[in-house]
Structure 1
Amino acid sequence: MKAALDAKAREEGFAKMRVCRPDAIPDAAGRLAEFVDKGRHGQMGWMAERMHWRGDPATLWPEARSVIMLAEPYTPEADPLEALELRDRATISVYAQNRDYHDIVKKRLKRLGRWLLEQAPEEQIKVFVDTAPVMEKPLAEAAGLGWQGKHTNLLARDLGNWFFLGSIFTTLDLPPDAPEVDHCGNCTACLDICPTDAFPAPFQLDATRCISYLTIEHHGPVDEALRPLMGNRIYGCDDCLAVCPWNKFAVAATEMRYAARPELRGPRLADLALLDDAGFRAMFSGSPIKRIGRGRFVRNVCYAIGNSNDPALIPAAQALVEDEDPVVADAARWAVERLR
């Protein structure tokens, strides 16, 4: 059954599949509690509210006997670090340059799950993609899919680190795989490149300093000390992923809906600053970017304009200093003052 499931998973487009038990991550609860106790989760209150489920997958669905972990690559065609030099343009995290991966991966998981139930009709399944209180990365490590690197993201010797994770919890008792071990060695490339020093130590992340958190999860104004460090990153940050040496083994993405839309390959900051709510929703329909809303998005655009060192962008920021969203107005004023 497991061999047939692996073959079916690859047929569906997944690059790798491994299995673990729901109780395979006994240290996760303590690590999560320490992360929250130190306030490193910032405004992500949902991490604290659901710790009892997140820290122990066995409590999420006690009937589950196996967790099937799957990887789906979204490897970029070009080096995302190159776009950081185009200061009058925006950089958007690779995973968000086209369709929302939640929808694509979940549909794939459901198809695979339906096939599994056809083979074992007496069993049950639940599928998860990043939106439930499931610690995918520790589970994936326990299943042998890869390991959590010093940047806390999952990477694998045969995949690099450009891949999404999905999980299928099932009552079917499948033989588990051996957990993966750390293969980072003495490398600190991911820690060294971080623009905001968001890693207090190897294998630890302070989300409140991470640009991905600041541009996506953080509501309100960003600390003025951090704004200059954000550069032209307006949605997410790929720096620590992009420098990982294991990416020399990265698998090419096969899903065309992950390929960057032309209009999101280095869009002009001046154009993005013009977006009203309707324009924002139209531009990012079906995109993960849509969920942060026009206000937070244009706030990020203003910070990027302020970091552009391009006085020609002053009018774009000036037009927003009286924006009805006070956070956008604050960011626009900061940009204008910085450019002047």
Structure 2
Amino acid sequence: MSDINEIACPIDPSDASALTAWALARSRSLGFAAVGVCDAAASSRGEELHAWLAAGHHGSMEWMSKNISVRLDPRKLVHGAQSIVVVADRYHDGRPDQRPAQVVDPATGEFESAGRTARYARGRDYHRRIKKRLRRLQREMEEAIPGTRGKVCCDIEPFMEREMAERAGLGQCGKHTLLILPELGSWVLLASYVTTAKLNATAPNLPHRGDPCGSCTRCIDACPTSAITPWSVDATKCISGITLEERVRPDPESAAKVGDWLLGCDICQEVCPHNQPTRLSLRMGTHPEYDGRNAAFSLRAVLGWDEPTRRAAFGPSALNRVLAQHVRRNAVWCSLEVLRRSSDDPVGGIVRRIAGDENENAMVREAAREVLNRLSQPLKLD
């Protein structure tokens, strides 16, 4: 990684070639795994977005249906925008998790059943980490070229980040809707700097132009809840949507299939051929800020959480937006798989207590009763 003082921003705003070369090199020096540039033009996928929303596939993510005109045109996000610098941050190298998920009880030293978190949410909050680095690029460009304005976007802004990443030549979206980068797969997080500066668009140089999947349907076949259809995901069925976004009562048929995923899900990425660890991918590594903390939590412990305990357990994590009552509800659903494997697991007694406690949170209690009801019935195989 280059020293930050080795790459000075060109001061001639009319030299788009020099400015583009600097933006690409500077982004790489900041630790991003891939970078590209595209024009700040309107999205071509408005019809697809409206159809997805009309079908209700955004579920509880009501914010997706707001600021549509801004989401579809970055020039409404930044008035006078001409260019977008798109970066990808690699957070995982493809190596599998331990299954079934277990953690060590610090009091006894014994293993106990656990629920996993999606890999992108492990460790510190990625929104802050990525934005902090990309804002250095923004600050340096805007200090060097007075009058230049822009905005850094990472996940939460109304912005079609995957489409812009495709335009910038970083990769192509797979059938699971995630961006697949050559040699890196989809274990990446995206961010963008929308700027009024004029840069040259980078030409894509991809081995699978337009479709990185071909006839492969591994992600579709592996999804336990059938949430994936080619290039579309129904968030009301998606385990990530259920465990991270659903604030009330998820579809019980889908919730019963969360397995050991407490917060988020990586199944569609785990089975993707592009995401399997190779000598090259392991050698390339990940950014050191992704340290793997909070990879799994004891279900027994989570079922007893209150808000202060939850905040202390998560720390400065992207998971912090999920309240204790929702994490506990998820832990109840995770216990279904645990108790199917071993009916005498200690979480069984806790779930039974929750189900019979009229003073318990209604959402958590209802989930516990649903789990116990399903355990009393023969397991239905699809």
Do they fold alike, i.e. is TM over 0.5? yes
Unaligned runs of 5+ in 1: none
For the residue of structure 1 that corresponds to 2:131, the secondary structure is helix
CA distance in 2 between counterparts of 1:24 and 1:219 reads 32
**1:95 to 2:120 alignment:** yes
**1:330 to 2:347 alignment:** no
Aligned mate of 1:300, from 321, 327, 330: 330
Residue 9 of structure 1 is matched in structure 2 by 27
Residue 188 of structure 1 is matched in structure 2 by 217
For the residue of structure 1 that corresponds to 2:152, the secondary structure is strand
Unaligned runs of 5+ in 2: 1-18, 103-111, 377-382
CA distance in 2 between counterparts of 1:133 and 1:265 reads 29
Residue 157 of structure 1 is matched in structure 2 by 182
Question: CA RMSD for the aligned pairs?
Answer: 1.9
What is the CA distance between 1:339 and its match in structure 2? 4.2
What is the CA distance between 1:59 and its match in structure 2? 2.4
For the residue of structure 2 that corresponds to 1:226, the secondary structure is helix
Letter in 2 for 1:107: K
Residue 321 of structure 2 is matched in structure 1 by 291
**1:243 to 2:271 alignment:** yes
Letter in 2 for 1:223: D
Residue 212 of structure 1 is matched in structure 2 by 240
| Contact 2:119-2:295 at 8 Å conserved across structures | no
What is the CA distance between 1:116 and its match in structure 2? 1.6
CA distance in 2 between counterparts of 1:272 and 1:77 reads 27
- TM-score (normalised: structure 1): 0.92
Residue 285 of structure 2 is matched in structure 1 by 252
Q: Paired residues, what number?
A: 334
CA distance in 2 between counterparts of 1:32 and 1:77 reads 30
What is the CA distance between 1:64 and its match in structure 2? 0.3
CA distance in 2 between counterparts of 1:235 and 1:134 reads 24
What is the CA distance between 1:76 and its match in structure 2? 4.5
Q: How does 1:130-209 map to 2 (within 5 A)?
A: 130-179=155-204, 181-199=210-228, 201-209=229-237
Structure 1 pair 121–83 and aligned structure 2 pair: CA distance change class (3 A): farther
Letter in 1 for 2:331: V
Larger Rg: 2
What is the CA distance between 1:14 and its match in structure 2? 0.7
Q: Which has the larger displacement, 285-294 or 327-336?
A: 327-336
Q: Name the structure where helix makes up a greater proportion of residues.
A: 1
| Contact 1:21-1:176 at 8 Å conserved across structures | yes
CA distance in 2 between counterparts of 1:65 and 1:265 reads 40
Identity over the aligned pairs, expressed in percent?
Answer: 34
CA distance in 1 between counterparts of 2:258 and 2:187 reads 22
CA distance in 2 between counterparts of 1:267 and 1:132 reads 30
| Contact 2:239-2:255 at 8 Å conserved across structures | no
Residue 316 of structure 1 is matched in structure 2 by 350
